[in-house]
Amino acid sequence: MKTIVISGGTDGMGRALARHYQDRGDTVVVLGRDPDKGADFPGFIRTDLSSVANTRKVVADITEAFPVVDALVLCARHFRSARRQTAEGFESTFALEYLSRFLLGHGLACSLNRAGKPVIVNVSGPGVPKPEIHWDDTGLERGYDGVTAQMQAGRANDLLGVDFAARFDSISYVLVNPGAVATSFSGEYDAATLAHVERLKKFGKPVAEGIAPIIALVDEPPGVPLSAFVEGRRIVPDLDRVAAARLADLTHDLLRSHA
């Protein structure tokens, strides 16, 4: 029996994964905001992961309750057509989709290291050609749009994988791009983006199909520090170690101000 932590486990692929492992008899910790959606899961923790303080609290609570964590699956996302700044001063997409994943991975590394074959599956967007990090404006105060924020978060997660793997080589870090999957597409959309999302919901593959490669990776982690997959197909991860180290330094600086 494994202990599996799933951020964004109340909807979409995270929810389907949580059900799968719960039905199998594993201990599943589900992180999300909506208590109605979380009611199906005894291991539900209600939290807004766009808050650094909340994410740190969740890490502390999980660490106390579960000395061993076998798998961390990172699925929380929320698209915003309009820019929103959190009470802590971060742009919301960057905070939720990148900073929370950074904090959960690093914060649970000790518990993961006690497992036999620990794995972190970061469900994001590897394989997308080089979106940029806005180094001097990660909060996109100059020129925000929702797609730019998503692309930046995706790139930041690729670089997070590269840096994490260099620091914790005993944990398999796996970057997964599931392709278009018909999920809830959590977000607040303008009309044009909503029309696109409706098409994705209609034509995306079923959730069961989207999670099949993720289940395979959690059950049998690749056993190398970093790997990347697009729709179940292994790709060569983009190993920009210089950018990865730069982002890690920047992230530590940003988080230090919220220690």
Least distance CB 8 / ligand NAP (angstroms): 3
The reply to whether 81 sits near ligand NAP by the rule CB under 6 A is no
Among residues 17, 4, 7, 44, the alpha carbon closest in space to that of 181 is found at 17
Q: H helices of 70-219, where?
A: 92-93, 100-107, 109-113, 146-167, 191-203, 207-219
Residues 238-257 that bind ligand NAP (CB under 6 A): none
Phi, psi of 176, deg, nearest 5: -125, 125
Contact 28, 22 (CB under 8 A): yes
Min dist CB 86 to ligand NAP, Å, is 9
Letters for 23-62 (x = contact with ligand NAP by CB under 6 A, - = none) are --------xxxx--x---------xxxx------------
Minimum separation from the CB atom of position 93 to ligand NAP (A): 10
Candidate residues 2, 20, 78, 155; the one interacting with ligand NAP per rule CB under 6 A: 78
**257: CB partners within 8 A, 6+ apart:** none
Q: Which residue sits closest to ligand NAP, CB atoms considered?
A: 12
Site string for ligand NAP, 93-132 (x = CB under 6 A): ---x--------------------------xxx-------
In the complex, minimum distance from the CB of residue 242 to ligand NAP, in angstroms, rounded to a whole number: 25
- Rounded CA-CA distance 102/155 in Å is 13
* Tally of residues, the chain: 259
**CB 130, CB 116: distance < 8 Å:** no
Q: How far is CA 181 from CA 83, 141, 177, 204, 257, in A?
A: 25, 30, 10, 4, 37
- Among 2, 4, 5, 10, the residue binding ligand NAP under the rule CB under 6 A is 10
Q: How far is the CB of 164 from ligand NAP (least distance, A)?
A: 16
Interface residue list for ligand NAP (CB under 6 A): 8, 10-14, 31-34, 37, 47-50, 75-78, 96, 123-125, 177-178, 180-181, 183-186, 200, 204
